[in-house]
Structure 1
Amino acid sequence: MKNWKRIIGLLTVLSFVLVFIVVLLPAREVQAIDTAYTDSGDAGKTGTYKVNEVKEINYMPYGLVHYRHIGESTSTTMVGKDVDGYQGSNDTVKAGQYYAQHVNVLEVPSTTGIKIIPWMNYTGNKWNLTTVRNFIEDFEAKNPEWHVMAAVNGDGFDIGRNLAFPAQSNGATISEGNFFKSKSSGWGIMRFIRDGRQDISNFAYLDANQVNNSLITVVDIYDENDNIIARYNIEHHNKAPNVGETSIYYGVFTNQPNAYTFYPKEVDSNASFFGVAEAEIWLPNDTEGDFYGKGIISTTDKSSLSTLQKEQFAICTMNSDLKAALAIGTKVRVQRVYSGEFAYVENALSVFGARVMEDGVALGFEPGQRFPRTFIGVKPDGTNCFIVVDGRNGDEGRHGLDGYEMGALLRRYGCVRGYNLDGGGSVTMIIREPDGSLSCKNYPSDGFERTDGNCVLIAVKRPEIEIETKPEIRKIDLKVNLNDNAGHDMQKLFISLNNEKKEVIDGKATFERLQPGTNYEYALSYEDSNSLTFNLEQKGVAQTAYVKPELNGIKCTESSDKFEFVINYRDSNNISNYGIAPIKINGKAYNFTEGSLTVLKSDVGEKIETCVVDLEYKFTPSITYKRSLNNAHLSFALVFENMYANLEDLIKEIY
Structure 2
Amino acid sequence: MKKTIKKICFFIISLVILTLLFPGLKVFGETEITETLGARYYVEENVETNFLRSGIVHVKDKAMSSTDESGMSAGGSDSSGGTVIANQFYPQSVNVLTVPSQSGVKVVNWTLTNPLGWTLATVRELAKDFEKNNPGWKVVAAINGDFFDIKGTGALPYQTNGVTVSNGEVLRPITNNATIGFTNNGTENSLVAGKNFQVGQHQLDVFDNNGEIIASFAINSFNTEPDEGETNLYFTFPYLENGERKEQTQVVPPENSYTVISPIRGLAMSANKFYGKGKINVVGEERTLTLGQFAIVTKNAELKALLAQNVLIRIQQPVIGDYAECDNIIGGGVTLVLNGEGYNPTDFNRHPRTMVGRKADGTLVFATVDGRQVAKNMYGMLQEEMAALMLHYGCVEAYNLDGGGSTTMIIREGNNFRVVNSPSEDNERRDSNALLIVVPELTLNIAGITDHSLNLSMLTPQKEVVIDNVKVTVNNQTLLMEDNAVEFTNLAPSQSYEVTYTYDLTYQGLTRTMTGEPFTVRTGKTKPTVNKFTYELIDGEYIISWDYSDPDEIVTQAYIKIGTEIEFVREKTGSIAIPKNKVEGKTVNLIFKGDWDSDPSERFEFSYIAEEIKPVKKGCQLGASFYYLQTVLTVTAVLLIFKRRK
TM-score normalised to the size of structure 1? 0.63
CA contact (8 A) 1:216 1:339 kept: no
Separation (CA, whole Å) in 2 of partners of 1:299 and 1:261: 26
CA contact (8 A) 2:204 2:218 kept: yes
Structure 1 position 211 matched with structure 2 position 197: yes
Alignment deviations for residues 355-374 of structure 1 (CA, whole Å, 9 cap, x no partner): 11101111133342111000
- Equivalent residue runs for 1:219-618 within 5 Å: 219-256=204-241, 259-267=244-252, 272-289=256-273, 291-303=274-286, 305=287, 307-340=288-321, 342-351=323-332, 353-433=333-413, 435-462=414-441, 538=516
- Aligned residue in 2 for 1:58: 50
Q: CA distance change for structure 1 residues 540 and 80 in 2, over 3 Å: closer, same or farther?
A: closer
Q: Which amino acid aligns with 2:257?
A: F
Separation (CA, whole Å) in 2 of partners of 1:403 and 1:133: 27
Q: CA distance change for structure 1 residues 326 and 392 in 2, over 3 Å: closer, same or farther?
A: same
Shift of 1:225: 2.3
Separation (CA, whole Å) in 2 of partners of 1:406 and 1:311: 40
Separation (CA, whole Å) in 1 of partners of 2:405 and 2:325: 34
CA contact (8 A) 2:135 2:443 kept: no
Q: Which amino acid aligns with 2:383?
A: G
Separation (CA, whole Å) in 1 of partners of 2:464 and 2:309: 34
Q: Which amino acid aligns with 1:222?
A: F
Separation (CA, whole Å) in 1 of partners of 2:513 and 2:424: 34
- Aligned residue in 1 for 2:541: none
Separation (CA, whole Å) in 2 of partners of 1:383 and 1:523: 29
Shift of 1:321: 2.0
Structure 1 position 195 matched with structure 2 position 185: yes
CA contact (8 A) 2:136 2:462 kept: no
Q: CA distance change for structure 1 residues 257 and 74 in 2, over 3 Å: closer, same or farther?
A: closer
CA contact (8 A) 1:523 1:539 kept: no
Structure 1 position 47 matched with structure 2 position 53: no
Separation (CA, whole Å) in 2 of partners of 1:487 and 1:225: 11
Q: Which amino acid aligns with 1:60?
A: L
Q: CA distance change for structure 1 residues 443 and 537 in 2, over 3 Å: closer, same or farther?
A: farther
Separation (CA, whole Å) in 2 of partners of 1:537 and 1:49: 40
Shift of 1:397: 0.9
Separation (CA, whole Å) in 1 of partners of 2:113 and 2:154: 16
Shift of 1:319: 2.5
CA contact (8 A) 2:504 2:513 kept: yes
SS at match of 1:325: coil
Structure 1 position 147 matched with structure 2 position 138: yes
Shift of 1:181: 1.1
Alignment deviations for residues 538-574 of structure 1 (CA, whole Å, 9 cap, x no partner): 3679xxxxxxxxxxxxxxxxxxxxxxxxxxxxxxxxx
Alignment deviations for residues 268-293 of structure 1 (CA, whole Å, 9 cap, x no partner): 6x87221112222111122331x111
- Aligned residue in 1 for 2:60: 68
- Aligned residue in 2 for 1:4: none
Shift of 1:537: 6.1
Structure 1 position 115 matched with structure 2 position 113: no
Separation (CA, whole Å) in 1 of partners of 2:219 and 2:311: 17
Alignment deviations for residues 158-180 of structure 1 (CA, whole Å, 9 cap, x no partner): 01111011011001111111111
Q: Which amino acid aligns with 2:437?
A: I
- Aligned residue in 2 for 1:81: 72
Q: CA distance change for structure 1 residues 369 and 484 in 2, over 3 Å: closer, same or farther?
A: closer
CA contact (8 A) 1:275 1:300 kept: yes
Separation (CA, whole Å) in 1 of partners of 2:228 and 2:501: 65
SS at match of 1:89: helix
Shift of 1:84: 1.3
Q: CA distance change for structure 1 residues 35 and 129 in 2, over 3 Å: closer, same or farther?
A: same
Q: Which amino acid aligns with 1:292?
A: Y
Report sequence identity in percent: 34
SS at match of 1:321: helix
CA contact (8 A) 2:370 2:379 kept: yes
SS at match of 2:305: helix
CA contact (8 A) 1:216 1:336 kept: yes
CA contact (8 A) 1:152 1:430 kept: yes
Q: CA distance change for structure 1 residues 48 and 280 in 2, over 3 Å: closer, same or farther?
A: same
Q: Which amino acid aligns with 1:284?
A: A
Structure 1 position 158 matched with structure 2 position 149: yes
Q: Which amino acid aligns with 1:301?
A: G
SS at match of 2:124: helix
SS at match of 1:130: coil
Moved more, 219-228 or 93-102: 219-228
Separation (CA, whole Å) in 2 of partners of 1:273 and 1:343: 31
- Aligned residue in 2 for 1:105: 96
- Aligned residue in 2 for 1:502: none
CA contact (8 A) 1:237 1:248 kept: yes
Separation (CA, whole Å) in 1 of partners of 2:29 and 2:438: 30
Q: Could you list the runs of 5+ residues in structure 2 that have no partner in the other structure?
A: 1-25, 445-459, 467-497, 520-646
SS at match of 2:244: coil
SS at match of 2:291: coil
- Aligned residue in 1 for 2:538: none
Separation (CA, whole Å) in 2 of partners of 1:427 and 1:524: 36
Separation (CA, whole Å) in 1 of partners of 2:516 and 2:203: 40
Shift of 1:141: 1.5
Q: Could you list the runs of 5+ residues in structure 1 that have no partner in the other structure?
A: 1-29, 466-482, 490-518, 542-655
Structure 1 position 138 matched with structure 2 position 129: yes
Separation (CA, whole Å) in 2 of partners of 1:32 and 1:119: 44
Shift of 1:233: 1.7
Q: CA distance change for structure 1 residues 138 and 86 in 2, over 3 Å: closer, same or farther?
A: same
Separation (CA, whole Å) in 1 of partners of 2:514 and 2:77: 42
TM-score normalised to the size of structure 2? 0.64
Q: Which amino acid aligns with 2:422?
A: Y
Alignment deviations for residues 425-450 of structure 1 (CA, whole Å, 9 cap, x no partner): 000001101x2221000000011100
What CA RMSD, in Å, does the superposition of the two structures yield over aligned residues?
Answer: 3.4
Alignment deviations for residues 300-322 of structure 1 (CA, whole Å, 9 cap, x no partner): 2142x2x2223321011232322
Q: Which amino acid aligns with 1:91?
A: G
Q: Which amino acid aligns with 1:190?
A: I
Q: Which amino acid aligns with 2:265?
A: I
Shift of 1:61: 1.1
Separation (CA, whole Å) in 1 of partners of 2:31 and 2:515: 36
Shift of 1:487: 6.8
CA contact (8 A) 2:360 2:396 kept: yes
SS at match of 1:409: helix
- Aligned residue in 2 for 1:609: none
SS at match of 1:405: helix
Shift of 1:105: 0.2
CA contact (8 A) 1:463 1:488 kept: no
